[in-house]
């Protein structure tokens, strides 16, 4: 079960179904030990019934506070929690099963296998929320394929687009991130079992038999050999989660910009206000402690708060991949917290993203007003193409640039300035031609085709 949302910041950074807290780690470590005991029994290396006995004892919720504290205190002495855990677990099993606890394994085998189990749970939870977000983006893309708005480059007005195309871009990023998670889930989550120095000498000659049995017990893949100091699996999981936060961060940043009061083209929904505050007051998403009128884009801000932390955490994991010989002196230890944090933040961002896109409000009238605000200037490129047929590219470009500058300074529409110019009159350009060139609906290029392509990819992926 996911950890409870605890702490002052848990509601923002620990949202969704990803569990990476102390109890989640403890259970994953116990699951690895129990899986090993079952595998050893199946290989004939542990007494009959020992696998079941260890599995029954390996329930984190049944550990007393004293037992948990003992594991934590032993970590200070041994540099990781596994030796202490093995001691406590051995005491919890019947005497006949004690020999099956931790047999043939080294601490890193249990820690790394537990990390892969945590990653699987995190990926599954994140995939659910990401799929929900992608489904909402697909609905927005299809439903707003004809909703005109101004495109913006370098935060300045550019040429017309549709909100459907914007949402299709979001959808493509979400689907790509989801596909990345699927690949990692299917191919890169493996058990770790190598013993003291990656040879499984203590289980010879049956060591190679135990590894696939352990993998089968835990539902993980079998690696070709132990990967104690080859850390690309850890990096691959982290990169997949970083791609999730990158895709969601782009969406969240767009929403914060479109939701600005002066823009007003999008707005967040109210979110889940079903929970009551401890004080008994009514909760309100987006409120301010100082300004009761505020409606802040909290989901978008929370996503960005998650996504901004991930690159630094990923850098730590990449830097930690340089590990010495058969066991790292510190680099492996440096992985544990950033790896946990990336899983947690990716899952939290995905949960926020699903809620954001489910309730996103779109204001087509504000989009139309902002598109019309500059009096046709966003269509200057199209008008240049029209005039170039008679005046040549260079002269047409200069004419439109001059007309645009005059329109800005005078406050007149670009149409009126162009039609009043002698050059346009000599070129025989009519008012009907200028009006057609200034119609944003006629200058959307391949927007519909791009939307269709994104939706087709989504439907194929969702159908798998």
Instruction: Tally the C-alpha atoms within 13 A of residue 341's C-alpha that lie toward its C-beta.
Output: 18
pLDDT at 288: 45
- For 191-246, the DSSP string reads ----TTTTS-GGGTTSHHHHHHHHHHHHT-BPPSS--TT--HHHHHHHHHHHHHHH
Q: Does 38 sit behind a cis peptide bond, omega within 30 degrees of 0 on the bond before it?
A: no
Catalytic residue among 91, 276, 288, 410: 288
Alpha helical stretches, state H, 291-379: 298-319, 331-358, 364-372
Angstrom distances, CA of residue 65 to CA of 31, 39, 70, 79, 120: 19, 29, 9, 21, 27
Question: 276 catalytic, yes or no?
Answer: no
Catalytic residue among 253, 284, 285, 327: 327
pLDDT in tens, 264-280: 999 998 665 555 545 55
Q: Specify the DSSP class assigned to residue 103.
A: T
pLDDT at 387: 87
pLDDT at 181: 98
pLDDT at 2: 42
Has residue 389 got a pLDDT over 60? yes
* pTM score: 0.90
How high is the mean pLDDT of the chain?
92
Q: Backbone dihedral region of 275: left (phi > 0), alpha (psi from -120 to 50 degrees) or beta? A: beta
Question: 120 catalytic, yes or no?
Answer: no
pLDDT in tens, 36-61: 999 999 999 999 999 999 999 999 99
CA distance 464 to 389: 50
Identify the three-state secondary structure at position 136.
helix
- Mean of pLDDT values over 115-135: 98
CA distance 268 to 247: 18
Which of the following CATH numbers is that of domain 10-275+285-365: 2.30.42.10, 1.20.200.10, 2.70.150.10, 1.10.3720.10?
1.20.200.10
- Give domain limits for the chain: 10-275+285-365, 377-437
Higher pLDDT pick, 170 / 430: 170
pLDDT at 1: 38
Has residue 284 got a pLDDT over 80? no
pLDDT in tens, 221-238: 999 999 999 999 999 999
Has residue 290 got a pLDDT over 90? no
Has residue 173 got a pLDDT over 90? yes
Higher pLDDT pick, 162 / 386: 162
Buried b (16+ CB within 10 A) or exposed e, 152-187: beeeeeebbbbbbbbbbbbbbbbbbbbebbeebbee
Has residue 289 got a pLDDT over 70? no
- Mean of pLDDT values over 165-183: 98
pLDDT in tens, 350-368: 999 999 999 999 999 999 9
- Mean of pLDDT values over 365-382: 93
86 and 100 Cβ atoms separated by less than 8 Å: no
pLDDT at 239: 98
Model confidence at 424, in pLDDT bands (50, 70, 90)? confident
- For 371-432, the DSSP string reads HHTTTTGGGHHHHHHHHHHHH-HHHHHHHHHHHHHHHHHH---HHHHHHT-HHHHHTT--HH
Closest alpha carbon to 257 in 193, 166, 322, 349: 166
pLDDT at 3: 47
């Amino acid at each position: 079960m996911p950890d409870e949302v605890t702490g002052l910041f848990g509601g923002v950074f620990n949202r969704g179904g990803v569990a990476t807290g102390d109890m989640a780690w403890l259970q994953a470590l116990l699951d690895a030990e129990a899986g090993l005991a079952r595998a050893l029994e199946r290989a004939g290396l542990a007494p009959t019934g020992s696998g079941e006995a260890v599995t029954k004892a390996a329930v984190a919720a049944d550990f007393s506070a004293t037992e948990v504290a003992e594991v934590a205190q032993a970590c200070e002495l041994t540099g990781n929690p596994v030796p202490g855990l093995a001691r406590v677990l051995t005491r919890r099993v019947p005497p006949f099963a004690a020999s099956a606890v931790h047999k043939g394994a080294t601490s890193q085998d249990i820690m790394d296998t537990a990390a892969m189990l945590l990653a699987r749970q995190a990926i599954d939870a994140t995939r659910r929320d990401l799929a929900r977000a992608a489904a909402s983006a697909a609905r927005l893309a299809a439903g707003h394929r004809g909703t005109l708005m101004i495109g913006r480059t370098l935060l300045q007005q550019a040429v017309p687009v549709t909100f459907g195309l914007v949402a299709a871009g979001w959808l493509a990023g979400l689907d790509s991130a989801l596909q990345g998670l699927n690949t990692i889930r299917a191919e890169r989550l493996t058990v770790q079992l190598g013993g003291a120095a990656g040879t499984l000498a203590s289980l010879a000659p049956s060591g190679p038999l135990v590894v696939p049995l352990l993998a089968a017990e835990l539902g993980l893949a079998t690696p070709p050999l132990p990967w104690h100091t080859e850390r690309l699996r850890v990096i691959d999981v982290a990169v997949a989660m970083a791609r999730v936060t990158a895709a969601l961060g782009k969406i969240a940043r767009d929403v914060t910009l479109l939701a600005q009061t002066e823009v007003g083209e999008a707005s967040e929904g109210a979110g889940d206000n079903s929970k009551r505050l401890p004080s008994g007051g009514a909760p309100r998403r987006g409120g301010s402690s100082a300004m009761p009128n505020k409606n802040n884009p909290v989901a978008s801000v929370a996503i960005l708060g998650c996504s901004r932390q991930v690159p630094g955490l990923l850098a730590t994991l990449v830097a930690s991949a340089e590990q010495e010989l058969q066991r790292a002196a510190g680099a492996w230890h440096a992985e544990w917290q950033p790896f946990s944090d990336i899983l947690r933040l990716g899952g939290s961002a995905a949960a926020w993203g699903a809620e954001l896109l489910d309730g996103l409000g779109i204001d087509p009238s504000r989009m139309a007003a902002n598109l019309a605000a500059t009096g046709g200037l966003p269509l200057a490129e199209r008008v240049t193409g029209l005039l170039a047929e008679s005046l040549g590219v260079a002269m047409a470009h200069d004419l439109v640039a001059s007309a645009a500058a005059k329109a800005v300074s005078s406050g007149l529409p670009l149409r009126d300035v162009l039609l009043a110019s002698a050059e346009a009159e000599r070129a025989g350009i009519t008012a009907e031609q200028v009006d057609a060139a200034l119609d944003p609906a006629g200058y959307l290029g391949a927007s519909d085709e791009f939307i269709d392509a994104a939706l087709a990819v989504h439907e194929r992926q969702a159908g798998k």
